A and B are shown apart, each in its own frame.
Chain A
Amino acid sequence: MTDNSTITVKPRSKIRDVWDQFKSHKGALLGAIIFFSIVLLVMVGPFVWPFDANQIDIRSRNQGPSLLHPFGTDQLGRDTLARMMAGGRTSIAVGLAAMALSLFFGSFIGVTAGFYKKLDGVLMRFTDLFLSLPLLPLLLVMMLLFREPLSQAYGPEKGMFVLIVVSIGITSWMPTARIVRADVLALKEREFVLAAKASGTSDTLIILRHIMPNVLSPIMVSATLGIANGIITESALSFLGLGFPPDFPTWGRLLNDAVDYLQQYPERVFWPGLAISLTVLSINYLGDGLRDALDPRMRKR
């Protein structure tokens, strides 16, 4: 009988909903914090830290941790913390670039296959064929074969970067393509797409305006996993000695260099390994949380 029955419900935006759900997943939140602090450290660190990653100081070589060099120095007296930050820059840059490339291929093929029925069979057989390629051996072979020509064309560092990013990109788009295709197939039958079609919207516009925003969540989840995959693959290649040139630090390369001194300085393998593991672990947790947050069925109202 009271007259304050007017319940004011604030309109909730979708982003707000996603964020609320994401926050409730403690692991994901922690993962996001750790990942972004690593990225920040790696991006800003080299400007603040007094030592350069390639500055050789042979007199202070093989030092243990000290106030001057918190992570110690390597066999040429280069500061390990500076090298870790420079290495992280490369590793994360490779991960991000490879993820972007593989997402581009994956969503392009997935959307095309899902939207155009005629191309579906061909594109999915193509995806299956790519899935049955032995990826790690092929990546190694690509490194072997294209290292020289690309190094000559773009310089040793840039050439290697292009080669690694492109090779990881073209060998990791398949899962994204499959997930996106499945979603597009279901979306295509929905009324709003039919309505758009009936009102004479062109296919390109339907895809860009109606399909793409709706498949964004699986793409974002693939994106997080793509970064993790890129970082691990790059480190594996560098670890096998088929990645970047020796004077160019990446986490995998630093780990590989440290293995040579395993008997004398076992603590050296610890830092790059921990950095790779922590980054990938935090990204995986981030992806887990994102998957839950973006799935409306998981959201508790």
Chain B
Amino acid sequence: MLTYIFRRLLISIPTLIFISLVIFLLLNLAPNDPMAQVPLTVPPEVKQKMREALGLGQPLYVQFLKWLIQLFWIEPQVFIDYMFNTSFSEDKLRVISWQTRSPVMDIIVQRMPQTLWVVGMSYVVGILIAIPIGIYSAYKQYSVFDQVGTFVTMIGYSVPPFFTGVFVIVIFSVQLGWLPSIYDTTHSVVDWETFKVQLKQMVMPVMVLALQTTAMINRFMRATMLDNLNQDYVRTARAKGLSEWTVVMIHVLRNSMIPVITVIALNVPAIFGGAIITEQVFKVNGIGQQLIGAIYANDLPTVQTITFMFAVLIVLFNLLADIIYGILDPRIRYD
């Protein structure tokens, strides 16, 4: 297992480098000019100097290498400095946003908590709803409960978040006026009253994202439960006289959870992707909104960095899913 984990870790390094190359080339080979918004009164030689200051005059591979060094060498140093008050990163050039002229990572760190709160909460809520429903609809296959559950799952699967989001805003904010339609990130929780406000503004974005998670996981949970319920060991367990609860909740559930947990791990990046749209709908100023803003403003370093971070998330959670699968299921020995 250890060698397997090690080998998987080694494979993910070229994957990450390939992805960063794709992102880099896509952004740098496309025709656009970061100097386009500089006024025409600025003389050409000054423009040339500005171009060089942004590191644009150099050949592509130098730019790529520099970006990699900034991302993998200098940014971790900044992080270490921040954690332990050291000064490794002094005077070193960080990835600078063209939009705000401040380090991209600093803005990401500011924006990250909002995204994590909304996305993480919705994921937990979605899983907590999906698993019991999945178990029960598999246990009572073709019952009314199962039919309704499958239909709701299908809806969650088909209705895009930009419609569910807008739809709940129309109902709960515009018509009923119960919940705020805009997520206020400056709001801080200090007492019960502010906690209630926080809860109110989180309900809608979390539920919209949770619907998607629920649909995905419920579908999967039901399928694996059905697979397992027809196995011989279930009949054996019933024949032994074990109670129905023990048979379903201990024997079947434990075996069904193995693939479900991998799916849960594999879908974390997808839910971050969905958060891009949900953040736009509810005006949560998280990472997704930063990405959209940067795209509108032609801010390539920010776009590059955030896109790359999404890629890191995908690679990381794929790795995690593989490892979890190996640990949970002893039948799977990768080496």
Contacts and interface: CB of A to CB of B under 8 A. Distances in A.
A128 B18 CA distance: 11
A262 B170 CA distance: 7
Interface stretch (A14-22, A42-50, A74-82, A234-242): A234-242
A135 B314 CA distance: 10
A13 to B, nearest CB: 30
Contacts of A281: 154-155, 158-159
A68 interface: no
B27 A145 contact: yes
B273 A266 contact: no
B315 A132 contact: yes
Contact of A141 (B159, B269, B295, B311): B295
Given A138-B26, A262-B170, A132 B311 contact: yes
A269 B167 CA distance: 8
A26 to B, nearest CB: 11
Contacts of A252: 162
A284 interface: yes
Interface string B254-294: 00000000000000010001001100110000000001100
A97 B154 CA distance: 24
A145 B310 contact: no
B158 A284 contact: yes
Main secondary structure of the interface of A (DSSP, over half): helix
Contact of B175 (A142, A146, A255, A266): A266
B169 interface: yes
A267 to B, nearest CB: 8
Interface in B160-219: 160, 162-163, 166-167, 169-170, 174-175, 181
A148 B158 contact: no
A21 B277 CA distance: 39
Interface in B11-51: 15, 18-19, 22-23, 26-27, 30-32
A213 interface: no
A200 interface: no
Nearest to B159: A277
B174 A262 contact: yes
Interface residues of A, number: 42
B157 interface: yes
B158 A228 contact: yes
A259 interface: yes
Contacts of B18: 129
A137 B162 contact: no
Residue of A128, A252, A280 contacting most chain B CB atoms (<10 Å): A280
A145 B19 contact: no
B113 to A, nearest CB: 20
A132 B22 CA distance: 12
B229 interface: no
B179 to A, nearest CB: 14
A113 B307 CA distance: 29
A273 B166 contact: yes
A276 to B, nearest CB: 6
B269 A134 contact: yes
Contacts of B27: 141, 145
B30 A273 contact: no
A285 to B, nearest CB: 7
Residue of B15, B166, B291, B310 contacting most chain A CB atoms (<10 Å): B166
Residue of B15, B174, B295, B311 contacting most chain A CB atoms (<10 Å): B295
A232 interface: yes
Given A129-B15, A242-B295, A136 B273 contact: yes
A119 interface: no
Interface in B78-116: none
Interface in A264-293: 266, 269-270, 273, 276-277, 280-281, 283-285
A263 interface: yes
Contacts of B273: 134-137
B303 interface: yes
B31 A148 contact: yes
A262 B166 contact: yes
B177 to A, nearest CB: 11
Nearest to B313: A134
A133 interface: yes
Contacts of A280: 158-160
A133 B19 contact: yes
Contact of A236 (B30, B162, B307): B162
A181 B273 CA distance: 28
Given A137-B291, A262-B166, A132 B19 contact: yes
A136 B278 CA distance: 13
Interface in A115-129: 128-129
B154 A284 contact: yes
A40 interface: no
A263 B19 contact: no
Interface in A28-74: none
A100 interface: no
Contacts of B269: 134
A140 interface: yes
Contacts of A128: 15
B307 A138 contact: yes
11 contacts: A132-B314, A136-B277, A138-B23, A144-B303, A235-B162, A236-B162, A240-B280, A263-B174, A269-B166, A273-B167, A285-B154
A-B residue pairs, 4 tightest by C-beta: A134-B310, A145-B30, A273-B163, A281-B158
Given A145-B26, A239-B280, A277-B159, 7 more contacts: A140-B292, A141-B27, A144-B295, A148-B31, A277-B155, A277-B160, A277-B163
